[in-house]
Amino acid sequence: MQSASLHLRPARSSDAARIAEVYNQGIQERVATFETRERSAAEVAAWLDDPRYPVVVAEAGGAVVGWAAASSYRTRDCYAGIAEFSVYVAREARGRGVGRRLMGAFLEACRRAGFWKLVSRVFPENTASLALLAACGFREVGVYQRHAQLDGVWRDVVIVERLLGDAG
C-alpha cells in the first residue's frame, strides 16, 4: 500500500467494525492505551453519534487502515474548545505514512469543528507515536508519572498538545 493511494474522510457508521478491529489491535499490543477490554462495533458506533467530535479514517483499497478521533476533554464550559484525541493505524499499514496523512486531515477537521487545542497522553516507549506527533506539530508538555496501571504495572505517560487556529 502506498500513502498516495489513501483516501481520508469522515468516519461513517459502516466503519464501526473496522475501527473497533484496529483499536483492538492497539489494546492487545499494550503499547498505546491503558484499556484492556476490547471494543465492539456497537461501542464504536456510539462515538460516531456525536457530531461535535470529529472521527476521520484513512482508507486504502476500500478498507479502513487507520483512524483518529476527538473526544471530550472536560465538562466545564471554559474547556469546550479543547479535545482529547486518539490515533491508531492497523498493523499492516504502519510505517507507510498513513498516520501522518491521517493526522493532517484530522487536525483540519478539528480546527473546522472549532477546537483550539488537542491533547493526549502517550506511553514513553511508544516512540513511533511520539515521533508522529512531533512531526505533526505537537509539543511534549511533561510526564505524568505512574499515571495508571496496565496489567498490574505502573506506567508513565508523556503529555502532548497542539494549538489550532487562532490559538496557534
Q: What is the dihedral of CA 116, 79, 71, 31, to 10 degrees?
A: 90
Q: Tell me, what DSSP letter sits at residue 38? A: P
CATH number of the domain within which 79 lies: 3.40.630.30
**How many beta carbons lie within 10 A of that of residue 8, not counting itself?**
19
Per the CB < 8 A criterion, the answer to whether 59 and 6 are in contact is: yes
The tally of domains found in the chain comes to 1
Domain span at residue 56 reads: 3-167
Give pLDDT tens digits for 56-112.
999 999 999 999 999 999 999 999 999 999 999 999 999 999 999 999 999 999 999
- Amino acid identity, residue 33? T
Give pLDDT tens digits for 9-57.
999 999 999 999 999 999 999 999 999 999 999 999 998 988 899 999 9
Give the span between the Cα atoms of 61 and 20, in whole angstroms. 18
